[in-house]
Each structure stands twice: as C-alpha cells, then as structure tokens.
A and B are shown apart, each in its own frame.
Chain A
Amino acid sequence: MFGIEDFWSYALILPVALGVLLGALVLVWWERRLLGWWQDRLGPNRVGWFGSLQALADLIKLLTKDDWLPPFGDRVFFILAPVIVTAAMLLAFVVVPFTPVLVIVESNIALLWFLAMSAMAVYGVLLGGLSSNNKYALLGGLRAAAQMVTYEVFLALSILGVVMLSGSFSLIDIVENQRDGFWHFIPQAVGLVIFVIAGLAETHRLPFDLPEAEHELTAGFHTEYSGMKFGLIMAAEYVALILLCCLIVILFFGGWLGPSFLPPVVWFGVKVVIVINFFILLRAAIPRPRYDQLMSLGWKILLPLTLLNILATGAWVLATQG
C-alpha cells in the first residue's frame, strides 16, 4: 500500500543519510577544534575557514588511498565488517524522530529497533578484530565483544524506566510524554547516567575505548584497516556518537520540545550539539579504566543500580497510574 506517507518516508531517506554522514564529517572537525581549544593548542586550522575543510581533505585522502587487504586475514569478513558497522548505525537512524514529522519510519517499536541495530554493530567490530588475524586486533575484538555485549544489557535496562513512564516504545510517544511534565532526565536521572555510561561503552569512545586503546593495543580491532575501510569504521563511530546523542535528547531531554520562538528541529539540533560537546569533554578529561575494572563496574555497580531504578520506577508508575 504505497500511500502519501510512504512517499514522505522514502523522500526522507537520502537527506537523513547524507545529513548524518555530513554531520559525522563536521563532527570530526569540530571535535578536533574543540579538543585543541581545551588543550591549549591550535587543532586543524589551515584547510578552509578555521580548518573546516580538514575533514573533507582527510576524506579525500582516505578515498584515494591504496585499498590494502591483509593477505593473512579473512578477506570476506574483513571487508564485510566495516560495512556492517556503518550500515547498522545508519539504519538505526530510520526510527529517529528529529521532529514529529521529520522521521523516516514512525514505529511503535522504535526503541527496540535502535537496540537491535546497536547490537548488530558489535558484529562488525568483532568480525573486524577476528578477521584481521592480528594479535592486537584479536585482543581488541575480544575486549569489544565482552564490553559491548555487557553494556548492551545496561543500555537496554537503563531506558526501561523511560519506557515505563511513557508506556511506549515509540520515540515520538516518549517525547510527547515529556511535554506536560518534567523531562525524563529529572525522574530518570539514574537511568540517564547509566545510559550515558553504557552509551560510551557502546560507542567505545574514550574513556571507554578499550577495544582500540591506542596506548595498549596500538589501534585494537582496526589495527589492520586502512583507506576507506578505516574511513567507514571512523564514520560509523561518529555516526554512533550522533545517534547516541539524539537518543539521549529524545529519551531524557524532551527531543524537539522547547519554547516556541524556535522551530522544533532547531531545538533538537541545539540539544544534540550540547550533548555531543559534553561527550567530547568527557573524552578530553577522563582516563581509561582497565578492562576488568570496566567489567566489574558494569556487573557489580550498574546492574544492581539499573534493576533498582526499574523497580522504583515501576512502583511509582503503579502508584500513580495503576
């Protein structure tokens, strides 16, 4: 049944995909500028206005680089891995509502789709690490598997509180639920903290970049990657960061809601940028815990905390609505 709504969906695919990828490109530049500013140094400032074309120049370099395949690795999975990560991350954007209308697919299981896609991304990292047939990549892949599978659990559990409050898995419903009350970051502060930590671990950014851990594993799971395959992994990481920040804004900070002097999509954008900057700040400030410390943080502290959060939220929902 191809209706006018479907046409809108299809029409949105390309702009969203391009927008997100362009966003990732800008983010690469922005992160480097911001880090440079915070770290008393210049950062990229030569190519274009304030170095803004630096990421583009990097992209051109990556695209034109020799496409090397390690002869000792598993070719099929080596090529497939970056495709899987990038595809999974981009697919997750299908359900992300930038505004009530600016969404490709309005689904009542949108949150589950997001979780499913971020779980898919684990395959990419894992396969990339294993198929490289490199010991550093292997260690990185193993770390990635353990870390991401573990934090997958908290990523899902931490948002259950929000789901309970909203009574829906639909992201649009979740945002609308925040219109007439507190934004969820107040009743669900615990959930937010855990979601941020789990999200960091999911996107394996510093301080939780253990699968890469430059100082320990050189480049971890993507040690053998170069050229545009490396570029895809990079892109996926930044897309994942944008995705995570979008989700945080939607789930906890009222999505596109805000005083009406600005259009909803601008509110959404502003909030996302603020959250992204917060993540960049985390990267600049915090050292990396050890692998087993990260695991025990997850299972010994975050797990009980999330379960308590769910229990308390459930009790609250029962008391007020039930």
Chain B
Amino acid sequence: MALPQEAVQEPPGIVSDLITRFGESTRLQTTVDDYPTVWVERENIQDVLRFLKNDADTPYELLYDLSAIDERLRKHRENQPASDFTVFYHLISLSGDHDLRVKVPLQDDDLQLNSVESIYPVANWYEREAFDMFGVRFEDHPNLKRILTPPLWEGHPLRKEHPARATEMEPYRYTEEFQDAQQEALKFIPEEWGMSREAKHTDFMFLNLGPNHPSVHGVFRIALQLDGEVIVQAVPDIGYHHRGQEKMAERQSWHTYIPYTDRIDYLGGVMNNLPYVMNVERMAGITVPDRAQVIRVMLSECFRIASHLLFYGTFAQDVGQMSPVFYMFADRERLFSIIEAITGGRMHPSWFRIGGVTQDLPDGWYEMVTDFCDYMPKRLDHYEKMSLQNKILQRRTKGIGAYNTAEGLDWGITGPSLRATGSDWDLRKNRPYSSYDQFEFDIPTAVNGDSYDRCVVRVEEIRQSLRIIRQCAENMPSGPYKADHRSTTPPPKERTMEHIETLIHHFLNVSWGPVVPPCESETLVEATKGWMGFYSISDGGGMAYRSRVRTPSFPALQQIPFISNGFMVADLIAIIASIDFVMADVDR
C-alpha cells in the first residue's frame, strides 16, 4: 500500500532498548501509521518517558499528545494487553525524525497513574484533559482539576457510558439552586489559582481578562495577578468553547464527520479536513489520485493564506494599529471569492472527501488563482512597510514573549511559532504528504522567538504559500479527482444507473458511510497554526471508535504564563496576538 504520508523509519533499537530496560511486560503493537507503539506498565511510565527524553540515542524532545481511550466496548484488541482504559503518549523526536507511541493499560477500579508533568511540562494540561474526559487520575499532578467542562460537571464525557446526544439524557432543567451552586463554584479565589493576595509591600490586584474581551480572540479567559500594570502571574482558563468534537466523532459516520472538522480551527477551513481524510484513507487503504492531491494542496495553502492574513491584521490591530486589519480582510475576501468559486463554501467548505475531493475544479479557476498570485505579493510589500517596519510596532513586540526552541518543544509548540525560534521543522518538508515533495518552497525561520518574529515568519509563509499555489496552478495534473476504491465516499456516480451492485454500493456508502477495517492510525499535517493531527481508532464499524484531535492552539495557550509573567498588560496583549490561536481549536 502506498502511504500518502512518509515512511516513518523505525528507530533502531529503541523498542528493544525499552524491553531490556523495562522488562518483558513491554510489548509492541502494530498500527497502520507505522509508529512504533509500545505498551508499558504504569509503574514505569515516568522512568520510560524520562529515559526517552534524556537518555535515548535520539531524544524525544516533544510530547506531542497525551490522552486516553475507553477500551471497554472495543471488540478488536488482538495482541494488546487487557485494559479498561488506555492512556497513550505520542512522542516525537525531531532530531531523529521519528515517532513513538507509548501506551499504559489501566483498569476501571484503579484508574490512576503517575503524572509526567515534571518531565514534559506540556503534559500538565493534557493530563487535566484526560482526567476531565475520562476520569483518569494522575498522581502528583499539581492542579488536577477539570479543564474543559465546568467545575460541577457530572461524569466524564468521553467515557462510553456518557451520553452523546440530548435525546439520550433526562430533560434539562435549570433551577435556581443549580445556578447558585454553579456560581458558587465559579467564584474567584486567588489561592485556588496559585496566586497570593499580597507581598511584603504590595497588595495585588486581580484582573479577569476575558472570557469576553476584545483581544482574546474568542472566549478565552486569563486571570491576572497584577502589581500595578505588571503581570505577576497569568493563569489561562479555557473550556468556554468546548463542543465535544471528539465525542461527536464517535457518533458520526466516517464520512459525515468531515463537516465537523472544518470547525475545529475555524480559520483553517479545508486544512482541517486534510489530516482527517488522509488518516481515514490510510486506514481504509485508499490511494488518492494525483489531481486530488494537488487540488488539496492548493486549497489548503489558500486557507493558510486566509488564516495568516487574519492573524496579520489582528496582530497589528492588537498593538493599536487600526487600519491594516481592514486591508487584510479585503484581501481575504478576494481569496474567499476564489474558494467560493471552487468549493461553493467560504470559511467551512467541507470540501475534501474520503478518497479525493467533492468535485472537479470549475471552469475559469486557473485565471482566478493566478490573478490572485499576481496581486498579492505587491500588497504584502505594502503591508510590510505599513506594519512590520513601523517602529512603534517593533518596539511593542520585539523581545516580548520570547522562548527558544527547546522551551518551545517543552511546551508542545509546533508550526510557525516554533520556526520563529530558529527550528526549520516543517511537516511539509520533513515528512511530505499529499505530494508536497513535488513543490519548490522555502521554510521561513526567525531567530529570536519573540512576538515580532512570530509575525515575520507567518508573513513570509504567505509568500511561500503563494509560490506553492502558483505551482499547483501551472502543473495541475489531469485525471480523476476521486480514488477508484470501494470506500471512497460518495463513490463515483457515473455507473450507478448501469448495475444494481454499484447502485447499492453508492446507496450504502452515502447513507451508512464507508466501513473501515479495525486498526489505529494517526496523521499529522502542517496546519495553519502548527501541527494538527487526527488519531483515529476503528473497531471495524462505520464510525470511529475513538478519534483524538490534537490541535496546535491548545499547548500554545498553556505556555502563556511562562512567556508573559513580568511583562505588562499591554505586552500580554501583544503576546496573545502573536500566538495565533483560535478558541475552537483549543477547546474542540
């Protein structure tokens, strides 16, 4: 099977290293994404991760993902240790360019294991999320509280017994007692947030920035402990935008989940479809035709530009420059008119399909796309003079919120925000997918890793995306836009009126959706804001047994306190503006 993604090389000996160090109970599981997946005992998890981070031949610098799986209803678990719940850790070694998935089996009556927060700081929020969603307790965790659901939420949403639809639940009642209890639980007590009320000569002021605030880009709250205008501590609080994307993945068919993915990073449009459909294609063994791959690249890069333009405008706006955002919205509008002509949708076209794309490109697409590629660079030069070269803007953002590559990886930062620190890791180059290896483009990097550099890198990425789009337009392959495979959804319709078999097949695939053989797979792409990945588990049905969505914005917000403490409120705004996050991408 020709994988759309890279062939990940098995790290020589890392698995046998683990087995020799941590005993025979360490077992290997095979997955279709070819990431080595090892099962370890829960007593060993801290030692295993410490070894992998510090002592492995090629250290695993990045704890990319951490979550859990409710295994209790899963039928196909061949060659896996028995467990009611499984906690998994996805580690990535950037230096060695390989992945490792570590799994820990847990039983329902004893649902706890040690926290790895002291080894990988990024684990802090991920462990809270796993606790919130599954009820897994992480011992020695400094702050194991609910993170996405409200403090008084009952149950753990991603457990299989938790209802997914309102119709499965009792009618909802909102009583006064309920409201009082909720309000009481939400009362701000500084000590609970790890803040102190006073120091030797100061009484601190607590400022609640958000969830409704002009500069937090959605419903995001930061509790601030202020000394004058200087931030002593900033504690981010999320969960106001949580919609249960992962739960919905378990009740939608593989096909009908596609529109939900659009709304994860709602500025990314079809960029969100890409990792999802590529993942399903890998699981179903579909090879996507060249034309579909290049169309996908072209549309994804269009959305990268759209997202970066919005970032650019709001970045300037948040440091007080009023006009740029309007110019950039106008340009974004031009782009949307192209996207609309091709897909029929604007921000959320849901246009990629399992096995290809919805439709072929319309007449006249070439002129529209190349016109835009001719138009945009001049505008970018203009914006650069207006914003990036403005001395006040530079003074507001240079040296603000800086971190280096190692710190970035500790906090799970990927994508442009990592490349602003000097790392040139880009999945499109390092692990080319969907025919990215056929394109010429550069990976822009910067050195200081501060707010200004994060903007510079993204602006340069717009230019590179334009290069890619032009190459797509000039070299668009001919051929089908959908794979000829039984799981392609909806299947090609040309022959449905000829044989009853194809008609039935079409009917089933459209109404029930395709059936994916039991397997596990994860696919990452270089999305607009960093690496975005879907880790899906099929139990041989028409729906995902579990679909994990790992988004770049989530860890980026967790990092905020560590790059903003000691700065002023105005700097915090510049930092937030430079992160480029979307709350829907954080809370999912």
Please list the residues of chain A having a beta carbon within 8 angstroms of any beta carbon in chain B: 35, 38-41, 135-136, 138-139, 142-143, 206-207, 209, 213-218, 283-293
B114 to chain A, nearest CB (A): 40
User: Does B178 reach chain A (CB closer than 8 Å)?
Assistant: no
State the CA gap A216–B390 with chains docked (Å): 20
Contact between A139 and B569, CB atoms less than 8 A apart: yes
Contact between B317 and A215, CB atoms less than 8 A apart: yes
Closest to A214 in B: B214
Contacts of B323 in A (CB 8 A): 35, 38-39, 284-285
A2 to chain B, nearest CB (A): 50
Contacts of B387 in A (CB 8 A): 287
Contact between B568 and A290, CB atoms less than 8 A apart: yes
Knowing A207-B392, A216-B215, A218-B213, say if A287 contacts B319 (CB, 8 Å): yes
Contact between A213 and B205, CB atoms less than 8 A apart: no
State the CA gap A56–B568 with chains docked (Å): 39
Contacts of B215 in A (CB 8 A): 215-216
User: Does B571 reach chain A (CB closer than 8 Å)?
Assistant: yes
State the CA gap A213–B387 with chains docked (Å): 18
User: Does B87 reach chain A (CB closer than 8 Å)?
Assistant: no
Contact between B327 and A218, CB atoms less than 8 A apart: no
In the complex, chain B residues 327-374 whose Cβ is within 8 Å of any chain A Cβ: 327, 330
Knowing A215-B317, A218-B214, say if A40 contacts B322 (CB, 8 Å): no
Contact between A286 and B568, CB atoms less than 8 A apart: no
Contacts of B91 in A (CB 8 A): none
Closest to B319 in A: A287
Q: A40-B330, A136-B207, A139-B569 are in contact. List 7 more A-B contacts (CB 8 A).
A: A217-B569, A218-B214, A283-B322, A286-B321, A287-B319, A290-B568, A292-B568
5 chain-A/chain-B pairs, Cβ below 8 angstroms:
A39-B327, A40-B326, A139-B229, A207-B320, A286-B390
User: Does B395 reach chain A (CB closer than 8 Å)?
Assistant: yes
State the CA gap A142–B208 with chains docked (Å): 18
State the CA gap A277–B393 with chains docked (Å): 23
Contacts of A214 in B (CB 8 A): 214
Closest to B400 in A: A290
State the CA gap A213–B321 with chains docked (Å): 11
Contact between B214 and A286, CB atoms less than 8 A apart: no
Of the residues A35, A41, A287, A293, contact of B321 by C-beta under 8 Å: A287
Closest to B577 in A: A215
B459 to chain A, nearest CB (A): 16
Of the residues B205, B206, B327, B573, contact of A216 by C-beta under 8 Å: B573
Contacts of B330 in A (CB 8 A): 40-41
Closest to B331 in A: A40
Knowing A213-B320, A215-B318, say if A287 contacts B390 (CB, 8 Å): yes
Contact between A287 and B569, CB atoms less than 8 A apart: no
Interface bits B309-324 vs A (CB < 8 Å: 1, else 0): 0000000111111110
State the CA gap A291–B386 with chains docked (Å): 22
Closest to B317 in A: A215
Of the residues B206, B207, B570, contact of A290 by C-beta under 8 Å: B570
In the complex, chain B residues 36-67 whose Cβ is within 8 Å of any chain A Cβ: none
Knowing A139-B229, A214-B214, A218-B214, say if A289 contacts B326 (CB, 8 Å): no
Contacts of A136 in B (CB 8 A): 207
Of the residues B207, B320, B327, B395, contact of A215 by C-beta under 8 Å: B320
Closest to B574 in A: A290
Contacts of B569 in A (CB 8 A): 139, 216-217
Closest to B572 in A: A216
Contact between A41 and B570, CB atoms less than 8 A apart: no
State the CA gap A293–B229 with chains docked (Å): 13
B222 to chain A, nearest CB (A): 12
Knowing A41-B326, A215-B320, A286-B392, say if A291 contacts B568 (CB, 8 Å): yes
User: Does B396 reach chain A (CB closer than 8 Å)?
Assistant: yes
Interface bits B382-410 vs A (CB < 8 Å: 1, else 0): 00001100101101100000000000000
Q: Which of A41, A142, A288, A291 gathers the greatest number of chain B CB atoms within 10 Å?
A: A288
Closest to A285 in B: B323
Contact between A289 and B396, CB atoms less than 8 A apart: yes
A197 to chain B, nearest CB (A): 12
B577 to chain A, nearest CB (A): 8
Closest to A139 in B: B229
Q: Which of A218, A284, A286 gathers the greatest number of chain B CB atoms within 10 Å?
A: A286
Of the residues B205, B316, B320, B573, contact of A135 by C-beta under 8 Å: B205
